[in-house]
Every structure is written in C-alpha cells, then in structure tokens.
A and B are shown apart, each in its own frame.
Chain A
Amino acid sequence: MDKKNTPLSKLFLLIIFLILYAPIFFLIFYSFNSGGNMNHFKGFTLDWYKELFHDSRLLIIVLNTVLVALLSSLIACIVGTFGALGIHSIRKKRPKNALLALNNVLIVSSDVVVGASFLILFTLAGIKLGMGSVLLSHIAFSIPIVVLMVLPKLQEMSPSLIDAARDLGASRWNVVTKVIFPYITPGVFAGFFMALTYSLDDFAVTFFVTGNGFSTLSVEIYSLARRGISLNINALSALMFLVTMLLVVVYYFISQRNKSSRLGVKK
C-alpha cells in the first residue's frame, strides 16, 4: 500500500486547493486595490484598512461578535460538559440513546429553522431582541457540539478509574474534579474551540434573533454587501481570515504541547 504519489495526483491536489482558496485570495488581493472596485487592480493601498479602523461602529460590532462568541462558548462548555457527564452516567440503553439522538438532531437541523424558532420563542417569552437573545441562541446551539466532543472522552475512560478514586477516599465531587475533569479536558477544549468557530461565523440564527442596534460581523457584512460592493468588506474579510488562521495555528500548538508534555516531567 506504499504507493508513491504520482505527479498527476500532486497536480490534482494542487488544483483542488487552488480552487478552494482562490476566492479568498482574490478577495484579499483586491482589499489592497486603490481602484475602489474589483474589476481591475489600479495600485496598492492600505486605505480600506485605515477606513476600517476608523469606523468605530464596525469596531464595536467586532467586539460584540468576539464577546458573544467567547461568552457563549464558555457557558456552553460548562453546560455541555455536565450534560455529557449526565448522559454518560445513564445506565439504561434506551433513554441514553434517546437523549443522544435529541442532541444530534439539534446539530444537524437547519440553522434557518433553529433561528426562526428562537425568534418565535423570544417574542412569545417577551425577551427583547439584542445581545441577550443572540447570546442565548448561541449558547443553545453550542451545547450539543460540546456534548458531542466530550462524550467520546468519557466513553474511552475506564470505569475502574472512578472506582479507584473512590477506593482511595475521594468523595463524589473529588472524583469529578480530580479524575474525570483532567481526563476529559482535551475534549472540553476541542468543544470550546468548535463552539467558538460556530459562534463566530454563524449567520442564519443570529440574523433572526438580532434586533435593531445590535449586530455581529457576519450579519453586518451581509447588510454591507446588500448596500453595494465596497472594498471595506474585502479588508474586513481579509482580517477575519487572518484571525481564523491564527486560531488554527494556536490550536495546533496547544495540541502539540499537550502531546509532548506527557513525555516530560509534569507535576
């Protein structure tokens, strides 16, 4: 099975990646265009970026987006981890599978449906649309993701670890904090990052539940694009792309460090 990659297969891979990344690089390329449109490149400029940083409204939106993402992922992480613990502790197969299925349905169901139903719920419950409603809905759609990332770690953990901890005198709470949490931490982190990315780039759900005066980046870009093409959007998208890449790199290093630190001395 140790076949060498032929030049043709390498070329194929190259073309695929070019096609996938071309639109993004095209967009970034024109964010440096002094021409003001995407038809032809006139000259290099950073004006669009300058304009972006002078637009305080946009900066507030960026802050809002990040805040909502961090808060919602954090809360979803806590709720989701306990949810996974709960599902894991169920002995009987049928209710366990039923709960898991309910969890998974939330992940696969269409964002539009989720968004619309949240809108109806918030309106019925009398919750004012704005940051609160966006935060609530983001927490809600992040929880199933966290559950799904944490559960495999719990399942891979030998049940005798818990017995062993009890045997050595640990109370139930000690067992959770000293044995279970350290064991599932990688899963919780993965869940947090997943929730973060889902929240950062969610458009559909947010679009439904965001009121006047509150907006997130994806919703803002959408409304900017509807008003007409401005290279502002390009600059903003380029920055977002950069941040995403940074996140990926950071995540990579964290996971690398986790692996290597197990080899060395650790307290």
Chain B
Amino acid sequence: MTNTIIEFKNVTKQYDNDSPVLDHVSFEIERGKFYTLLGPSGCGKTTILRLIAGFTEASVGDIYFDGKKMNDVPANKRQVNTVFQDYALFPHLNVFENVAFGLRIKKLKESVIKQKVQEALTFVNLAGYENREIREMSGGQRQRVAIARAIVNEPEVILLDEPLSALDLKLRTEMQYELRELQRRLGITFIFVTHDQEEALAMSDEIFVLNRGKIQQSGTPIDIYDEPINRFVADFIGESNIVEGRMIEDYLVEFVGGRFECVDQGLNPNEAVEIVIRPEDLEITTKERGKLKVKVDSQLFRGVHYEISCYDEDQNEWLVHSTKKANVGDEIGLYFDPEAIHVMRFGESEADFDRRLEAYDHGDAHEQ
C-alpha cells in the first residue's frame, strides 16, 4: 500500500491569458505528515490549496486523491476540510451549530452529532463554549472553532490557509505549538499555507517553497535551511549572505578575492556559482585570524543576538549574528568553517541538486 494521499501531476492553473498562477507543478503528499506551502504572496500557494479543496479547477494536469483522479469531484464530495484565513465561521450560528454544520449536512443522528461536537470542542480546549455566539469569541477562540469544525468531519487531510496571520505575535506562537500538537494527536495530514518562514520552519515535517507558480524546493525544514537550492530560497528562508564565486576544483571555492576550503564537489572546474553563508555561521575575530576582513557599518540589538552589518573592500555586505557586541567603524575579521559554505549552481533542477547532495553523503561515507 502506498502512503501517498494527494498527488499533483503537471498541474497548471491559468486565468484567461495572464501568466499562469501555477506552472506545471508536480508533487506528492504523504499520509499523516505536516506539510507547509511557503512563499511570497502571489506565488500560487493558496491556489494549490483551493485546487485540493475543489474551489477551483486545474487548467491542465491531474490531481489524485488516494490514487483516484479527482479533478471533477466537487468540493462538497471531497474528503478534505479547510480552515480559512478569515475563519469563515457562520455568523448566524453559535459555536455548537458551526461545528455541527458538516454533520447536519450528513444527516447524522442528533445524539451522534452532540457527542462528536463535544469531542471536537474538547479537543481544541473549547468545552463549555457551545452556546456562545461567534461574535463573543476572541480571535484565538474563533481560530479553534474553525479547527474544530474541520476535524469533526474526520477528514483525511486538513487544509489551513494562513490561519495564524490575523493573530498577534504571542498568540501566534502559542497556536503554532497547538497546531503541531493537534496534528500529532490526530495523525492526519495537515497542509498549511503561510508566507512566514519562521512559522514554516517551526511546524513542518516537509516544506514546499514556492515562487512564481513553481515549486523551488521541497524538503525538511533543516534541509531547506541548510541547503537552499537557489538564491530565492536562500533569501526567503532566514537571513543570508549571498555572493558570486567560482568553483576552482573539488573542495575549493573562490569568492570575494580569496580561495576557501569547502565540502562541495562534483562541479565543473571553474564553474560560476553562488555562495551562501548564514549570518550565525560567521564568527567575529581579529583582523589577522579572520578569513574575511570587513568594516562594521551598523549594529542592531535583536534580543537574542546582535545583528551586525559589515562591508568588505568590494562593498559586499556581510550580515553577522553574534552574541558579542562589535564597535561601529571597527575593522574586524570574520571566521567560518568549511561546512558553513553552501555552494549553489545556477539553474540547477531540484532532482540534480538532490543527486549532488546525495553524492556528498556517499563521498563522506567513502572517506571514513
């Protein structure tokens, strides 16, 4: 038995003659995992959700649910439920009736409805709120009613369309934990849409990074953070220092006028590449010991760390996250490990990229 529950095969969505919202997208979603579709607004992430829910139809390509093609199955016949960005709770019904809506459509017995709604509300910590009107609930509570309304139907997949964006920061962080916990307890697939990369990194088993209607990269949060495939992903996920460079030979890369030891191999000699070094991988040291010499331009206190902006002789900006303070105007050195250098080829496909990274692992194993 396959573990795949949803599959997109070459799906394109296009309105009239505009450029496509989704451009030949293919992916698989497995049972019981927490997925995040991450990308800037207009990247097509909500369109994917609407395609899965059945609110819109694919222009080209097929969508499979549990191995069956479901392009023409209407939204009310699909075994998925959605938590909407504005929650979309029915204002004329109270909390109980909102949650019971789907069950009443199915014409279940009153006693069964009552029991299921109670269970769902207890699940989201809202027991005792049955008779409240929606207007009387706070943002976080409405959010939970919306989740209860989705899970009470026992769907195989729950779709969440930026459900946390309307909450304040503290509540949002709390709800991130709650959602993740809920998904583990229910054991069903969650597909979560967000433009907030921190949210995506914190909650997901698997992230799809989207831009301009294409999936740029998919993988675990750690994969995507540590090994971004291209400039867009590196820039979008976390803070990055990105410079252009040249791969001299295996394990040796040249950028900003110096040659540095790295862990990448299998590229063409002298191939033009882009280099990513995360700000937290840069260490402040003296000018003599540093691999890079930079001048401190400005510094911001971020709470957990200082964010220090430096410039080298070629006016490349280097962002450093450090718990130690630096003095603006000082000339300092920056040190980094060979592992901190991440090399990106131009226009590399995700499949090639994965193959290359896999080869490194084998290479490492070979050396040991």
Contacts and interface: CB of A to CB of B under 8 A. Distances in A.
Contacts of B135: 262
Contact of A167 (B82, B89, B106, B133): B82
A124 B149 CA distance: 58
A174 B105 contact: yes
Interface stretch (A108-116, A158-166, A194-202, A218-226): A158-166
Contacts of B12: none
Nearest to A174: B105
A170 interface: yes
A229 to B, nearest CB: 52
A257 interface: no
B53 A158 contact: no
B105 A267 contact: no
B315 interface: no
Contacts, number: 70
Contact of A262 (B55, B90, B131, B133): B133
Contact of B85 (A160, A167, A170, A171): A160
Given A160-B85, A265-B94, A165 B133 contact: no
Contact of B153 (A160, A168, A265): A168
Contacts of B54: 166
Contacts of A163: 53, 55, 75, 82, 84, 88
Contacts of A228: none
A57 interface: no
Interface string B83-123: 01110111111100100011001100000000000000000
A171 B55 CA distance: 13
Contact of A160 (B88, B92, B131): B88
A166 B55 contact: yes
B136 to A, nearest CB: 8
Interface string A161-188: 1011111111100100011001100000
Contacts of A164: 82, 84, 88-90
A263 interface: yes
Contacts of A165: 90, 101
Interface of A: 158, 160-161, 163-171, 174, 178-179, 182-183, 262-263, 265-267
Interface of B: 53-55, 74-77, 80-82, 84-86, 88-94, 97, 101-102, 105-106, 131, 133, 135-136, 149, 153
